[in-house]
């Protein structure tokens, strides 16, 4: 997408927001300018701490999900027997909205960062697992055979074939689920914590009734989601250049 188009879209959305705030004319929907002012004020106070906490939770769960789901996906994609055992389990668990487990995980794991990380991890884990598995299973047997004929054993196959083959699947999975992850992060941060953007937004909106500050939190959370999305997009274009080039030809 071109920068100019993105800029115009931002302009249009801000315009709609401004119009809505004029029409409704209530404190619950302040104008973009008011929110921007609040944001610039809050960013010099507590907001960065909350943003950092939320960011750390998403990052930790992403790394955890990749490091467990990618190898498991490769393994299942490679071995028909293993996949035959696990496929029905994954098939049942995959569509369950993991956010419903928030109370369970909180009760089991208590307060602190771990339950929040685990919940987002659950969402990303299945997404990555399924995509990497299908990618690994779609590698042509001839490709594996010819790389094996070059002397590659299990370790070299992993390093030169399965790992690079699963990278695009990991990035696709992340791109698809980063939005859900941030949404669930919000829900998870409503409970048993005093740090994080979820807590911050809820506190400002429902307890302090400071609506511009609440919107500053929403803005920060949107920026977090956008930032993650753009990073994945960037990595995908860098690492998977061969795919886009392939499409162009």
Tell me which residues touch another protein (CB under 8 A). 140, 142-143, 145-153, 155-156, 159-161, 164-165, 167-168, 240, 242-243, 245-246, 249
Nearer to another protein, 5 or 142 (CB): 142
Using alpha carbons, list the distances in angstroms from residue 87 to 24, 76, 79, 134, 211: 51, 9, 11, 11, 47
Nearer to another protein, 30 or 73 (CB): 73
Nearer to another protein, 90 or 163 (CB): 163
Residue with tokens 């004029």: 22
Nearer to another protein, 8 or 154 (CB): 154
Nearer to another protein, 23 or 245 (CB): 245
CB of 210 to another protein, least distance (A): 50
Residue 34 is encoded by which pair of tokens? 């008011």
Q: Is 126 exposed, middle or buried (0-12, 13-18, 19+ CB in 10 A)?
A: buried
Side-chain-facing half-sphere of 75: CA atoms under 13 Å: 10
Nearer to another protein, 147 or 183 (CB): 147
Nearer to another protein, 37 or 148 (CB): 148
CB of 1 to another protein, least distance (A): 23
User: Can you spell out the DSSP letters for 138-161?
Assistant: TS-HHHHHHHHHTT--HHHHIIII
CB of 162 to another protein, least distance (A): 11
DSSP-based three-state secondary structure for 42 = helix
Residue 126 is encoded by which pair of tokens? 């299945």
DSSP-based three-state secondary structure for 45 = coil
CB of 161 to another protein, least distance (A): 7
CB of 169 to another protein, least distance (A): 12
* Cβ contact 90:126 at 8 Å: yes
CB of 240 to another protein, least distance (A): 7
* Cβ contact 77:133 at 8 Å: yes
CB of 155 to another protein, least distance (A): 8
DSSP-based three-state secondary structure for 4 = helix
* Cβ contact 229:179 at 8 Å: yes
* Cβ contact 116:64 at 8 Å: no
């Amino acid at each position: 997408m071109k920068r100019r188009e993105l800029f115009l879209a931002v302009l249009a959305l801000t315009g709609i927001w401004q119009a809505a705030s004029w029409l409704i004319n209530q404190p619950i929907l302040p104008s973009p300018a008011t929110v921007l002012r609040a944001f610039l004020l809050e960013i010099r106070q507590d907001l960065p701490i909350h943003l950092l906490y939320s960011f750390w939770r998403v990052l930790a769960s992403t790394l955890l999900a990749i490091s467990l789901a990618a190898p498991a996906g490769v393994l299942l994609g490679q071995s028909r027997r293993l996949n035959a055992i696990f496929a029905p389990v994954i098939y049942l668990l995959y569509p369950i909205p993991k956010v419903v487990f928030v109370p369970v995980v909180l009760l089991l794991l208590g307060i602190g960062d771990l339950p929040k990380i685990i919940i987002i991890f659950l969402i990303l884990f299945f997404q990555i697992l399924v995509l990497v598995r299908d990618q690994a299973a779609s590698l042509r047997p001839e490709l594996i055979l010819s790389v094996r004929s070059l002397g590659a054993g299990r370790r070299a196959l992993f390093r030169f074939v399965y790992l690079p083959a699963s990278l695009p699947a990991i990035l696709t999975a992340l791109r698809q689920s980063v939005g859900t992850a941030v949404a669930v992060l919000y829900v998870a941060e409503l409970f048993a914590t005093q740090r994080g953007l979820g807590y911050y937004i809820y506190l400002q909106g429902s307890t302090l009734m400071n609506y511009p500050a609440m919107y500053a939190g929403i803005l920060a959370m949107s920026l977090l989601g956008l930032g993650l999305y753009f990073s994945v997009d960037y990595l995908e274009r860098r690492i998977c250049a061969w795919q886009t080039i392939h499409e162009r030809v």
